[in-house]
């Protein structure tokens, strides 16, 4: 079974802290994604990566950065956490982009910024 | 403009009945794919069904079927014989060929509650 693992299920941080959300996949997938999920807004794409050290901005990249030093690991970084970044963060991966290629998701990290 | 629109924030259905979850989409790409995912309260996203824009037949996967009406740009999910375990959030999503063509764009979701 494909496994996408997010390091924390729940995280509580203070405003201004630097926050790292880690994601690891074990299926040698090229593509990895970070989405943010908010009630009434669905999932919105923050950043994605299609190769090691490659990254592309999604729809809402402001306030976030990412790192992909190894193929299996994709990190989301909040340089200075703010309360409006309190949300559920979902990591996903997929193989090369055939149209029907589905995304495999991790269980999510519920981040609270106080 | 929203690319994926789910107009039903919440739906209720009686156990063993069928239910339709609405999804409309907006794209100018001739080739695209449509997906439905289920998210139970545990938070994991579970892939349910896929429909390609050029597929002639509506997709089916067990109790799930996708009512694809291309001219109307709708891709409604039909769940037959609802079960209590179907209670979850359901998301419609689309992949377009244009651009990087790798990510999925999601709708806002429909919370389905199955009543005993």
Q: Are B97 and B31 in contact (CB under 8 A)?
A: yes
Please report the pLDDT score of residue A100 as a whole number. 87
pLDDT in tens, B49-78: 999 999 989 999 999 999 999 999 999 999
- CA–CA distance, B26 with A31 (Å, rounded to integer): 24
B19 touching A (Cβ < 8 Å): no
* Chain A residues with CB-CB distance to B45 below 8 A: 90, 92, 103, 105
| A83: three-class secondary structure by DSSP | helix
Among partner residues A58, A100, A108, which is closest to B103 by beta-carbon distance? A58
Tens of pLDDT, residue by residue over B8-35, are 999 999 999 999 999 999 999 989 999 9
Judge whether B26 and B2 are in contact, CB under 8 Å: yes
**Distance between CA A100 and CA A28 in Å, rounded?**
18
Record the tokens describing residue B15, joined without a space: 């156990």
Q: Residue B65: beta bridge partners?
A: B60, B78
Average pLDDT score, chain B: 94
């Amino acid at each position: 079974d494909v496994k996408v693992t997010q390091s924390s299920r729940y995280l509580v941080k203070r405003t201004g802290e630097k926050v790292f959300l880690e994601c690891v996949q074990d299926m040698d997938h090229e593509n990895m994604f970070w989405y943010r999920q908010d009630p009434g807004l669905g999932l919105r794409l923050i950043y994605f990566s299609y190769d090691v050290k490659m990254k592309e901005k999604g729809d809402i990249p402001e306030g976030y950065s990412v790192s992909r030093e190894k193929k299996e690991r994709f990190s989301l970084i909040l340089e200075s956490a703010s309360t409006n970044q309190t949300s559920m963060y979902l990591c996903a991966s997929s193989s090369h982009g055939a149209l029907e290629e589905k995304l495999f998701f991790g269980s999510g990290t519920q981040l609270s910024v106080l | 403009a929203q690319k994926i629109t789910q107009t039903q924030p919440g739906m209720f259905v009686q156990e063993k009945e069928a239910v339709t979850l609405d999804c409309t989409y907006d794209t100018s790409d001739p080739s695209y794919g449509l997906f439905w995912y289920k998210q139970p309260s545990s938070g994991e996203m579970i892939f349910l069904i896929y429909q390609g824009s050029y597929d002639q037949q509506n997709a089916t996967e067990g109790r799930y079927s996708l009512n694809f009406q291309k001219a109307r740009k709708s891709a409604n999910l039909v769940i037959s014989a609802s079960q209590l375990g179907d209670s979850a959030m359901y998301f419609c999503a689309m992949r377009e060929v244009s651009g990087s063509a790798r990510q999925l764009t999601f709708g806002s979701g429909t919370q389905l509650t199955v009543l005993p």
